[in-house]
Amino acid sequence: MNAGRWRGLGALLMALAIATAASRAIGAEAPAPYRMPPPGQALFDHLHNKIVHFPLVLTLVATAALLRARRRPEFEPVAFWLVWVTALSALAAYFSGQAQAGDFEPGPKEWLVDLHRRQGIAIGVGQALWVLSLLRERTRRYAWLLGLILSVMVLAAGFLGGLVAHGE
Tell me which residues touch ligand HEM (CB under 6 A). Answer: 46, 48-49, 52, 55-56, 90, 93-94, 97-98, 100-101, 103-104, 113, 116-117, 120, 123, 154, 157-158, 161-162, 164-166
Instruction: Give the separation between CA 54 and CA 127, rounded to whole angstroms.
Output: 13
Residue 60 or residue 101: which is nearer to ligand HEM going by CB?
101
Determine the Cα angle at 150 with ends 101 and 144, to 5°.
160
Residue 55 or residue 133: which is nearer to ligand HEM going by CB?
55
CB of 69 to ligand HEM, least distance (A): 23
Residue 69 or residue 133: which is nearer to ligand HEM going by CB?
133
CB of 21 to ligand HEM, least distance (A): 36
Residue 50 or residue 140: which is nearer to ligand HEM going by CB?
50
CB of 157 to ligand HEM, least distance (A): 4
Go through 142-159 and write b for each residue having 16 or more CB atoms within 10 A of its CB, e for each that does not: ebbebbeebbebbeebbe
Q: Residue 8, Cα to own-chain centre: how many angstroms?
A: 59
Residue-level length of the chain: 168
Instruction: Give the separation between CA 49 and CA 63, rounded to whole angstroms.
Output: 23
CB of 57 to ligand HEM, least distance (A): 10
Give DSSP secondary structure letters for 7-36: HHHHHHHHHHHHHHHHHHHHHPPPPPPP-P
Residue 85 or residue 140: which is nearer to ligand HEM going by CB?
85
Number of helices (H) and strands (E) in the chain: give both, helices first.
8, 0
CB of 82 to ligand HEM, least distance (A): 16
